[in-house]
Amino acid sequence: MYSKNHLLNLNIEKFEGPEKKLDIILFSPCSDLRSNRDGKWQKVVNSSGSRILSSISTDDLDAYLLSESSLFVWNNRILMITCGRTSLINALPEILNLVDRTRVAIVFYERKKSNFPQEQPFSFKDEVRRLTRLFPGKSYRLGSANHDHVHVFFWAHPDAKPEKNMTLQLLMHDLDPFFMTSFCAEGKRAMDLDVKFSAFEKFFPLTERDSHFFSPYGYSLNGLSKSNYLTVHITPQSNGSYASFETNIIQDDYSPLIKEIIDMVKPEKFSLILSTCMERDTPRFHATLAGGMANHWITEKSQYDFDCGYRVTFLSDLEALDLRHPSRGGS
């Protein structure tokens, strides 16, 4: 049996896989928001310490694949995700140069617990201080302080109405070492990574796909279908292996999709976040997810109702009983 140390050299540069996320929703569509003829989105991305590598589009949405994660732009929404040592908070003033603050209905900022917090340019506390100067929102922590958790800042204008949407996130740590070799220069690069992830299309066909293999380590994928997106980011380094999956494509039951991803990645532990507006039929999605998953321990379960009719369900420290440690499952 090969160890992680055998498959991946431990003497590699640390990379912060867990992401930061900024989600801004406007009161109404802005006709020129998506246009990038003047390079405005390059300027936004560069301000965070990242850069644009490529882009894809549908009639409703533009997706930019970044050197550190992804940017998605609709006519009425901006979603930016960054990892590594980026300063996502620095992108907010640049965005507000494009969109007047009076047009902003909702601001959502999320930051996963860092693997290497001492190497981050700002703490979440610093970021909240900067956010509240512009938007007097509230900060929350999803999950317990001494375990895996996610920090959240939320602000909604008093006149804001919730978007009819749903977002699922899978945040996965300590990936299977054999899986990780597919994303390293010394691994089986001949394997078609896009084929590996084409399994998602049995759940929702994509019209546009954009992927990038980073040298020597890492992988990112953006996929689009009309106004919907999915994004995958993989950090395979053994000193902090991490993968994330996020989509706003609505499914009646996410369990088969989640199982497909977990069976592929085989993380030692992972967290789930489901965010929705609170319409009449959405509580059942949260109830299904909160019911747990077969063959997994759930050590943290939280549900939060934010202002303006949003609900978030958070499940943390899920450990597989049958994937990599089958002996745990008996008693």
Residues annotated catalytic, as ranges: 16, 19, 69, 83, 220, 233
Cα–Cα distance measured from residue 16 to residue 287, given in angstroms and rounded to the nearest whole number: 32
23-33 CB burial, b ≥16 within 10 A, e <16: bbbbeeebeeb
Which 3 state secondary structure label does DSSP give 176? coil
CB 48 within 8 Å of CB 88: yes
Q: In terms of Cα–Cα distance, which of 87, 96, 92, 82 is closest to 21?
A: 82
The strands making up 20-26's β-sheet, listed across from edge to edge, are 52-57, 62-66, 69-73, 77-82, 20-26, 104-112, 150-156, 138-142
Cα–Cα distance measured from residue 244 to residue 265, given in angstroms and rounded to the nearest whole number: 10
How far is C-alpha 58 from the chain's CA centre? 21
